[in-house]
Amino acid sequence: MLTAYDYSTAKLMDSCGIDALLVGDSLGMVMLGYDSTLPVTMDDMIHHAKAVARGSERALVVADMPFMSYQVSVAEAVANAGRLLKETGVGAVKLEGGAEVCPQIEAITRASVPVMGHLGLTPQSIHTLGGYKVQGKDRDRARRLVEDARAVERAGAFAAVLECVPAGLAALITRLLQIPTIGIGAGADCDGQVLVYQDMLGLYPGKKPRFVKRYADAGAVMERAFRSYIEETESGLFPTAEHAFTIDEEILNELKTHYEPESRS
């Protein structure tokens, strides 16, 4: 699984054979420039999810439920999950949390909307977690993570993302659950993996998180191309005749005679 936020990237990933595309609320940071995912709205998610769904022919597309679209009440959660499915064409929604969001997961799945869970580092809770750090390292928190994962499965989630969880704990949770786990910073023993594509392509400024592998430096490739374009347009090297369209000479001469009679004399 990879994140995707627009039509052309989704189409490219889909044609490469990706199993699932996540329209993550990480779009708040990597596409919209916020410093967290908290400001992302339902309208933002719907806008981007529509584009990704249009670009995907075979991959499962999952859209994140943004902050405060499911926390306030179960009824609101069902209505917002329904909007995401109905208005965008995605196949499932994802929401963050453990036992505390199980009533929402139950009600949303009962309404025939497939739900993916998200446990461990849940970025929408950044202010209560106290920062972007590995979760479940001490005995109590590790046990709670296991119990939360089991609760999310019992509530009806069809899969669960495990973010920034120690590899051994993620492996244990993966063995204990019947549903697939999808890891990000959770080691190799999860059933699947997900990355934010800007991270794996070097397109997002700042320090690379330890769990990210950089598969290409697309940022550097794009930077070179942008610089060449600026230089060539300024120096006249671009565009050349091969990038231009022609018009019948006779028509052009008629127009010149009409509009620029002084330059003819």
Counting contacts by CB under 6 A, is residue 64 touching ligand KIV? yes
Q: Which of 78, 92, 159, 161 binds ligand KIV (CB under 6 A)?
A: 161
Counting contacts by CB under 6 A, is residue 194 touching ligand KIV? yes
Count of CA atoms in the C-beta half-sphere (13 A) of 93 = 31
For residues 125 and 247, which CB has a smaller minimum distance to ligand KIV in the complex?
125
Q: How far is the CB of 121 from ligand KIV (least distance, A)?
A: 9
CA distance linking residue 95 with residue 87, whole number of Å: 18
Counting contacts by CB under 6 A, is residue 120 touching ligand KIV? no
Choose the catalytic residue: 163, 231, 232, 242: 163
Counting contacts by CB under 6 A, is residue 69 touching ligand KIV? no
CA distance linking residue 175 with residue 189, whole number of Å: 9
Round to the nearest angstrom and report the end-to-end CA distance of the chain.
Answer: 69
Q: Which of 21, 81, 146, 184 binds ligand KIV (CB under 6 A)?
A: 184
CA distance linking residue 52 with residue 197, whole number of Å: 14
Q: Annotated catalytic, 260?
A: no
List, edge to edge, every strand of the sheet that includes 159-163: 2-3, 20-23, 60-64, 92-94, 115-120, 159-163, 181-184, 192-193
Counting contacts by CB under 6 A, is residue 3 touching ligand KIV? yes
Counting contacts by CB under 6 A, is residue 202 touching ligand KIV? no
Q: Which residues pair with 107 in a beta bridge?
A: none
For residues 19 and 231, which CB has a smaller minimum distance to ligand KIV in the complex?
19
Q: Which residues within the stretch 12-31 sit at the binding site for ligand KIV (CB under 6 A)?
A: 22, 24-26
The CB density around residue 34, as the number of other CB atoms within 10 Å, is: 15
Reference 121, options 153, 160, 165; nearest CA is: 165
Counting contacts by CB under 6 A, is residue 9 touching ligand KIV? no
For residues 116 and 169, which CB has a smaller minimum distance to ligand KIV in the complex?
116
Binding residues (CB under 6 A) for ligand KIV: these are 3, 22, 24-26, 64, 118, 161, 163, 184, 194, 196
Catalytic residues: 163
